Amino acid sequence: RKTNPFLRPFSEEIRKSLNLGQVSDVEIFAALRERKDHFKV
């Protein structure tokens, strides 16, 4: 998808890709942010 993943923490696709189990939307957002902060090309 071309939609910003930070706007879709409820997305099952994103949750599965993060492999975090059943966590809150806030925890999903935090995990995405953490990975973004440490992303290297």
User: 1-41, pLDDT tens digit by residue?
Assistant: 577 888 888 888 889 999 998 999 999 999 999 999 998 88
* pLDDT recorded at residue 26: 93
Q: Which domain holds residue 22?
A: 5-37
Q: What pLDDT is recorded for position 8? A: 86
* 22 vs 14: CA distance, rounded Å: 12
Residue 26 structure tokens: 């806030």
What is the structure's pLDDT at 4?
83
User: So what's the pLDDT on residue 22?
Assistant: 92
The domain total for the chain is 1
Strands (E), 1-41: none
Note if the pTM is more than 0.85: no
